[in-house]
Structures are given as structure tokens and as C-alpha cells.
Chain A
Amino acid sequence: MGKRVLLVDDSVTTAKQLESIIVGLSGFEIVGHAKNGAEAVKMYKSLTPDIVCMDIVMPLMDGLQATRAILQLDQNAKVVMISSLGGVGDKVVEALKVGAKDVIAKPFEPEKIRQTLQSL
């Protein structure tokens, strides 16, 4: 069985981009798409994915708060932040402190996504 990935992004465009990359990656499958942090936490509980690809700026609950909540549920959770704020030093450091495994800035290269997922 492949690694199960939960996508969290309020943008359908980004979710589709990630989907097109991950679908072509052997050993990975997408199990859900949450559109905000609150939905992400609910879906993490019900789906228990191996990896979460998490945006930061989202309505209702942002990605940093959601990552904190997920790691409180499961300290072994693997969350990768994929965000337009991924080049902002303060956000990168905050994400790493919260427990994210990596931070990828948008616009991203497909190869960066592949390499990061394969390294987890």
C-alpha cells in the first residue's frame, strides 16, 4: 500500500496541481482534500493520512494552527507546508517550530514536491 496524502488548500487550482504531480508518483495516493484548517483537522482524524500537504493562508483556521492541532492529535504526523508565504523567514521558522517537516514556497517546481514527499 502506498503513502496516503491529505491535501489542504483553499485553492482548487493548487489542489489540482498537487494532484497531477502526486498521481504520477509511484507509491503515493491522495485520500482527501480539505479547504481550510478546521476541515483538515477533522479529515486527519477520520482518514489518518501518512502525509499532509498544508497551505498556510486559509479561511476559518490557518495552516499553522491546523498543524499545531494535528500534531497534538498525533505527534508523529508528517506535515509539509506549501504556501505563498513559504519564502517569508518568520513563517518558515514558525512552521518548523510548530512541527512541520518542510516548507515549500509557491510557485513550486513539481520536482521539489516529488523530492520532498519521497524523503518523508
Chain B
Amino acid sequence: MRVPTSRRLGVLTALLVLLPLAACGGGSGAGGERNAPSSITVLAASSLTGAFTELGKRFESENPGVSVKFAFDSSATLAQQAVGGAPADVLATADQKTMDSAQQVQLDEPKVFATNVMVLVTPADNPAGITSFSDLNTSSVKYVVCVPTAPCGSVGAALLEQNHITSDPVSTEVDVKSVLAKVTSGEADAGVVYKTDAIAAGDQVRTLPIPGTKSQVTTYPIVTLTQSKNTSLSQEFINLVTGPSGQQVLRQAGFGPP
């Protein structure tokens, strides 16, 4: 009885030791094909996921041998990581305030490259029959917004106040993707999200305009970080984002001009 048990344990241990090695082998093999690739890491607000992934591919095809890595998260988290010394080259946030909080790691002046406005989305079948933003005041309507501490939440709160919406949301989500998820899953009747998120969600949601968004436009700044190991490549990526082809991709995703 004893021998098979220990043998089985031995095999298990061997597997546990070998698996990570196998994973490493695959990784270095793929990297080794390109001759000493130079790469940059871009920290970007999660609302930029679609547009920046597309721009990253374009950047890689325009610059053979170069790879762009992305970390998409909430702007506040990314700004904190950048200040904390995260090994990254470029930071793009979804508002000026979080960009300002990372002032000590900015290599130069941040450049605004896009704008965004908020819209109201409902599930495709619109279970609460919402036809305008003021319908949120109906007490039976369950709507969700971003938590006031997040950039999308402070803009959302301002829009609610501006339009005299006094009823409470059922939940304040930590980021705009969570708001969208609550709507597309049908748990909430409506949610306040960025126009770009509504466009990315396609026909999963129905989109309604919010009155007075012009006074609550979100700006997206981008900057090279002081810890960047490849500042010229970082600047080239920023040039792509702010240049005509980058602007075209951003416009298609629903972003406004800076």
C-alpha cells in the first residue's frame, strides 16, 4: 500500500515543479524569435480598453519588433500604481484629477487626447419602460451609477443633481464596467455609463441621452512616466494616440475630440 502512495506523491510533486518550467519555456521561446524586442507598458483607464488595444496592434505593425503591453484598470488604481513605482512607461487616465495625483511621476506635461460624455443605458428589453433621464425619479426604477469617489461617479452625481433626480440608486458600483454589467445582466433597470461603453456594448443595451452633458465632459490626459526605460518609444506611442490615425480610432469608439 505504501509504495504506490509515495510514488503517486512523487509524480504529483514532479508535475508541480515541472509545470511552471514548461510555461516559462513556451514564453521565452516565443520571445526569442524576435531579436531582443523592445517593449513598452501602458497603464490605461478601463474605458480605453477597445480603442487602445486596436492602437497597440497598429503600433506593433508600424514598428516591427516592438511590443506594447497594456494594463487596463480604474484610473485611480493605475495612478496609485504609477506613483508606487510600477514598471510602466505611459499613463492614460479618464480624468484630470487622477492624472494630477500622479504629478510626481510625470516626465513632462500631460496631453489631453480625447473626451467622453455620459449616457443612460437600459437593458435591451427595457423592463422598466424608461424613455427619458427623468424617469429615474420613478421610485420603482432600479438604477446604478459609479461610486462618487470614482471619476465616473463624480460626473454621474453632478448630472443627477443637475437634472433634479432625487431618488437613490440601488447600488454605487466601483467602476463603469460594473455598472454596465449590472445593466446587461438585467439586474438593474438603468445605469449611467460613458458613451463609449454604450457603443461597445452594442445591442445589449438601449442608449438614451442625458440632458446637460456638455457641461460635464470628461477629459483623457496621457503622459510618459519618469520610470520609463524607453522614453522615445513611449513618446512615439503618445504621438500615435494624439495623431490623425489614433484620433480616427478613438472617434470610431465614440470618444470626442480633445
Q: Do A and B come from one complex?
A: no
Partner-A contacts on B (CB < 8 A)? none
